[in-house]
């Protein structure tokens, strides 16, 4: 695949997150994209770092300070470790300052890299236009989209729409699943 550089809105579309959430990671210095003429540019490696950061945040609910440290450690490892899509898992170990035994988190790097590859075509659908500037014909496209949506919703009751919206919102509020595993003994 060729080298890519996406603007913030395009990168957020590829990652499937709100632009503000991605911007927060940049402002908190969890991610450090290249900057050109006051525009942040995200390359493929940085997109994978962002994917890892969102994965850790969603899974662990970690603070931004720890998230930045985890992401930086993973970034250093990925720079020296070859092709990320060929590594199935990476382990993140964190040891308390007292030198006790480390905790370990296994991250499905290959799966996250595959998801990212599948989402990259979305960047071309999200043009990064400056605020306030509308494309020629945007009203016509918008009205056509509304007509199409209205046709698709014919026969759907307001109660069904409200239930669907509530289900979608509840899905985002679920806490991460936490489980404990033990090594199996082999004979």
Q: For 79-97, how does the pLDDT look when each residue is reduced to its tens digit (9 = 90+)?
A: 776 676 777 888 877 776 6
Check the CA dihedral 134-140-143-145 and report its sign.
negative
Residue 68 to residue 120: CA distance in whole angstroms = 24
Q: Where are the domains of the chain?
A: 8-125, 138-172
For 1-19, write each residue's pLDDT tens digit: 458 899 999 999 999 999 9
Distance in angstroms between the alpha carbons of the first and the last residue of the chain? 45
pLDDT at residue number 26:
94
Q: Does the pTM exceed 0.75?
A: no
The alpha-helical segments, DSSP class H, found in 28-92 are 44-60, 64-80
């Amino acid at each position: 695949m060729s080298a890519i550089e996406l603007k913030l809105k395009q990168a957020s579309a590829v990652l499937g997150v709100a632009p503000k959430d991605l911007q927060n990671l940049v402002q908190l210095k969890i991610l450090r994209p290249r900057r050109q003429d006051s525009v942040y540019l995200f390359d493929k490696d940085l997109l994978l770092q962002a994917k890892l950061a969102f994965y850790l945040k969603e899974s662990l609910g970690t603070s931004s300070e720890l998230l930045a440290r985890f992401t930086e450690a993973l970034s250093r490892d990925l720079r020296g470790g070859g092709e990320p899509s060929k590594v199935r898992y990476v382990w993140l170990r964190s040891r308390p300052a007292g030198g006790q035994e480390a905790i370990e988190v296994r991250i499905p790097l290959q799966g996250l890299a595959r998801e990212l590859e599948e989402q990259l075509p979305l960047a071309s659908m999200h043009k990064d236009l400056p605020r306030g500037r509308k494309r020629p014909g945007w009203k016509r496209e918008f009205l056509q989209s509304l007509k199409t949506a209205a046709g698709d919703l014919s026969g759907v009751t307001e109660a069904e729409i409200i239930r669907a919206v509530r289900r979608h919102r509840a899905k985002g509020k679920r806490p991460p699943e936490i489980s404990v595993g033990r090594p199996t003994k082999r004979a």
